[in-house]
Structure 1
């Protein structure tokens, strides 16, 4: 069997199967998925528009919300357009360059989103534990620098993924049992040794997610200690309300990610289509619900959205 060496001089294509076992239902499955995608785009673009137009919202907290909205848009858009092309038009082929680009982009955006959520936890910590110095510690310029650091980290850590895939030989099997080019889904169809890919992918997930979650846990541990020291019930409630939206977003993002990752790596007895549907929902549900959570839980943002709705 002749191996296919994936190099720039040897153009090749892969076939994205979609959701194995549910090909006949692709059109029906696409309806709720497309609906979630459109709601997510509408909500996040609305959030960006409202914050951009509202002068009173040009604060670090809302800059971070906008950064989260950008990553939400990028996350769902890195997956859904190609998935819908598969579901609606049976366009399953993807070039080598397209596959490697999608792999890098969707993983880098996920890492960037993790950095934004970590920074938001630090923002809440400063707002509650050191409110008098909030405006001097967290300025818009400093938030922008933290965002740049997060972006640099995402690029540096995720750039090896497509490079590791490009060195693998692929034999006759070009079928990727997925709706997008996820790193391990592509590596698994290789006829070569994928040990480096598996070790690097798992190590990066543990290191990055573990580091970010540790800092988030530390921030909320200090926040909890500060709240417990507050004697006034009103101040106590206000401090809790300050964190509610971010806690909801964190729980939503982490629970879906962890559940999807655990079932993908350790749930061999679970049907493949369950793995893939969970993976897609991980990229769709948080971007759809995050704007709603912040719109409902953030009074200033809710007020600005109400003003624009009343003008229509």
Structure 2
């Protein structure tokens, strides 16, 4: 596990779990009335983990670019994600990979011609401008922000200096509380208004800060066991979750009532426990996941070794 920045794997695994809860309604086409569990998911999950994945994608790119691997491997890497995303659209319309590939090709790759200070500055500006709108508009800014942070070595610094995420937590918590309360008061429009979008970014930042801080406590062992393997197999788990959800939807009949959401979320929790265990076993015995290995082979145009580092876990 040499050269890995451990909190990146953990946060990626946590985000993967959040994304699954956010996606189940779309994949299963749940059209039942809202339930209390649905409202809580809107508050704690919806638009909260998509920004984390976007930031991590940018960080992964920045780490790779910092190693002077050149643009051609990165081009192949993004084309692979685009092709996989296009196929994934057939079973999960609106999924993120295709958007990520497009933004990576037209924003991240051209950004390699800019000084890292510009990359970071444009990332901050674009993220702030997109914050009131949320959704895919956040991708360009968060990609550049993550890349800029990585090129300055900030992810490694955060791993060593927990007081930085602690200070950030103090800043983002009141923002999240205020905008989250505003979203809760207007639940019917949750996910479609400014307060939801800003709350999403603030709560995403809180998830990241809490994970980094917990990595400096006795909870570190649990986080590394439960979430880090999922993070290292994130691409396989992300696609796999869609396939599992689709297969289950053919045998699970949902009632036309708020209980449909409770059933969907309970199923998602069970699926994630299964993926958690499978990821742990696979990571310990076989190393890279099947899609991660294929992705790496395409990137370097050669057979891949079993292990990689955070530079290659872009999703």
TM-score by length of 2: 0.30
* Structure of greater relative contact order (alpha carbons < 8 Å, 6+ residues apart): 2
Q: Which has the larger radius of gyration?
A: 1
TM-score by length of 1: 0.30
